[in-house]
Structure 1
């Protein structure tokens, strides 16, 4: 259906793609994986018409072609779901679905026709309860991610490309998306699926290609014949560490003295406490204590109330009753106040809440510090700020241009910049919401190591994640929420992915 051969793309003196190949066949789900910076995003931008290659050839249905732009590619049946959301928050769900081709009747906009055409696709992704005339701004991140997929499917594409479509989705939504993609492929459409979730790739894809440093490391191998270890080594090279076995149920904490330090009762000297906190419509009479050095997870289905815990600690929401006490004894009365009291927040939606995409990398990596600098002193501090940014980014193994525009980075590298920004503040409380969303397996491990190091120096870490494996790997204990209440806690030998999934889903 779509065949790319020997694609080359250079940005100044940097070669992003160096002879990349990809063959997409109708009726197949083809996964593309690789580290952040491996060239995946550049390849997809070329295939969707957003970039022109400096070398190589693209053939559509066997005919050599070159797209003049995204509109040209879309007209020829190429649909793209980008990792960073491109919805208009003030428009309705229906208007976002048909934003490039609004249905009309007698020359007037037809809401009824929009609803009729959207209903079956929305239902297929479990969004049949989403009001089509409501503004998108009111939807949660998972529903907005699925809405992007709906918009692409409504274009009836011949080739559907999805970049990290499950990074913000809970397990149930991932299952729904997998079912829909299999139905799409069964209609003869070629599906390109880009993901860092290697277990999903092995389960969902028919074939897999791997890019490393802009070059093919694997070309269209049958997914069923590849182990998780095969994929990791193809991505990272022969020196990569072997990943944990798929489906392992061994206790991820046992045997590690640092990770078992808080097994048993929570120490009396809690550094962070939430006492009988109620947030209307989110959580009711919830209490939680976290000791210095603990990594505590909060988990639940969408709307269960666990993310309200993050909000009140960060000052994003004020509880109607109860009290939040930070390590210094204060209460977060606003976001600014929480930051002043040592709270750092790594959000799941970095595009909306974590970064200034039109600013340079170093300006983002020092944003909290320079926004707090004395008036008129920014230029005086510029050199030291850049040096601090470079040091923190080096710690994150970021190898890009710190003077480059942040919006031009890959998703994983953008997340490294978010981490670096908060490392610069020397926080006492670190709040993480899906901190490794859209990050490859190598960078994920590096970020996990940094979180453990921060906890080991006495910081409080509070973590929410749609990735249950991340919770079991990182946390000393996980508090489970259902319908606004904390219904249980898993720790020690109980804290396995299988038991956590069971608890989250109501048993």
Structure 2
């Protein structure tokens, strides 16, 4: 049993934990919930030795403990799978699984055959079937997350902390992972499960604890005693009844001038995309939906200059063609908000102000070198007010913000650069229900500013809620499109799995109705 009592932690006068008690019991899945900024991440960091508390008592097996690092905690049987991947993209999958603990032959040579033997049952358990000699960076984010989970299981942990483990997974992968969690619980492992996907929580948790503003508001409640509505209320308090602070009738400053559409004509990438054609107009949110490897993500990579098409024509709104690389894409008015904000979207160890100015002073070279500190601060304060970023000051290190506020900084960085096209790759991944609603309003406001938005998400309900229309991909090709009353989570789920769109009778069969239209959503 792992227990903490009266745990307290502050950052620069901001209270992250205000006397938290938390118990982790063998053979139990204990869900830890809370809105962004509630204190979940800080509590997890304390549990695994990544952060030291200001005060409080930690006991493992009845004995006081104080871990100096995550490696120190792992040696005592406390392992974590973080939402932010700690893998090495340039190494192959097998090397990533065994970094720092490779079996040796004669104490000298690494025994890759033994590594494969040890890894095989863990990989099978989570349904991960990939080439172990393949560079990890070539895998999709969902596959990389499964590698991270497999690596943790190789430690045979007594306590396993899963921080947003399904945020990048498709439905089948998620179902398999939940089976693994239940199996670990039945083997006596204590699992701490952190997720913003409440349906997953209610499917797997035995106990639920909710934090709000650094305090425990629901303590170890049996799952059967809570409802989804009651849990959301506990997480947000009165916040769930508030109206959105964003007014879609007030577009962001620097609304894009008149420009043409984004056009793809028979774009192909060998072995990845068959001829794909689409047109996205200013002010439109176009979804690209599909399973991993379907081609939806690859379209974003082509537009942003990361993947060269083998044939076809790309016409950007400024009437130029394929940009050739990321910097040219940015200068052509393309912005890219990635799913992995920690690794690709932010500079975690620098200030909020520097992050927000990163694109404008970097690829765009708009006076950034000589920009004075006062001007940079004013820009950050503008976006703080426009997007509702909760920060102590613009000089605060962005890595200290909650996940939702970090994602708002990513949005602010690109909005400051004022692109005409914004590519969104799972933009609300790993943020709570309140922050997700704010993200939706930000997207609506971007569209109201006449920006072209291409939207990829692992959350099909969200996609149906946010997009004007969704183009469905299967096996590298476009198999159909859904819009208006045809567009629903159920219709998308069927289309991406069967590889086709059957519009006959959609939403007229008594299935889950289309989500309510958000305020200001375009039609």
TM-score of the aligned structures, taking structure 1 as reference length: 0.91
Note if 1:291 corresponds to 2:281.
Answer: yes
Find the counterpart in structure 2 of residue 319 from structure 1: 309
Shift of 1:81: 1.0
- Cα pair distance change 1:377/1:175, threshold 3 Å: closer
Q: After superposition, what is the alpha-carbon deviation per residue over 1:77-127, rounded to whole angstroms, capped at 9, x for unaligned? A: 101111211112233322221223211232132111111000010111122
Q: Residue 89 of structure 2 aligns to a residue in which SS?
A: coil
Find the counterpart in structure 2 of residue 405 from structure 1: 397
- Cα pair distance change 1:12/1:353, threshold 3 Å: closer
Find the counterpart in structure 2 of residue 349 from structure 1: 340
- Structure 2 residue runs of 5 or longer lacking an equivalent are 250-258, 500-523
Shift of 1:179: 0.9
Shift of 1:338: 2.1
Find the counterpart in structure 2 of residue 362 from structure 1: 353
Runs of 4+ in 1 over 6 A off after TM superposition: none
Find the counterpart in structure 2 of residue 304 from structure 1: 294
Find the counterpart in structure 2 of residue 264 from structure 1: none
Find the counterpart in structure 2 of residue 279 from structure 1: 269
Q: CA contact under 8 A between 2:330 and 2:364: conserved in structure 1?
A: no
Q: CA contact under 8 A between 1:370 and 1:385: conserved in structure 2?
A: no
Q: After superposition, what is the alpha-carbon deviation per residue over 1:362-382, rounded to whole angstroms, capped at 9, x for unaligned? A: 111111112257698623443
Aligned length: 483
Find the counterpart in structure 2 of residue 253 from structure 1: none
Query: Aligned ranges for residues 15-414 of structure 1 at < 5 Å?
Result: 15-108=15-108, 109-127=110-128, 129-241=129-241, 271-333=261-323, 334-371=325-362, 378-400=369-391, 401-414=393-406
Distance 2:404 2:164 in 1: 11
- Cα pair distance change 1:505/1:376, threshold 3 Å: closer
- Structure 1 residue runs of 5 or longer lacking an equivalent are 244-256, 259-268
Q: Residue 221 of structure 1 aligns to a residue in which SS?
A: strand
Shift of 1:402: 2.2
TM-score of the aligned structures, taking structure 2 as reference length: 0.88
Find the counterpart in structure 1 of residue 454 from structure 2: 462
Distance 1:372 1:311 in 2: 18
Distance 2:344 2:70 in 1: 27
Q: Residue 435 of structure 1 aligns to a residue in which SS?
A: coil
- Cα pair distance change 1:485/1:351, threshold 3 Å: same
Find the counterpart in structure 1 of residue 441 from structure 2: 449
Q: After superposition, what is the alpha-carbon deviation per residue over 1:331-372, rounded to whole angstroms, capped at 9, x for unaligned? A: 241322222222111011223321222322111111111225
Shift of 1:448: 0.5
Distance 1:198 1:206 in 2: 13
Shift of 1:270: 6.7
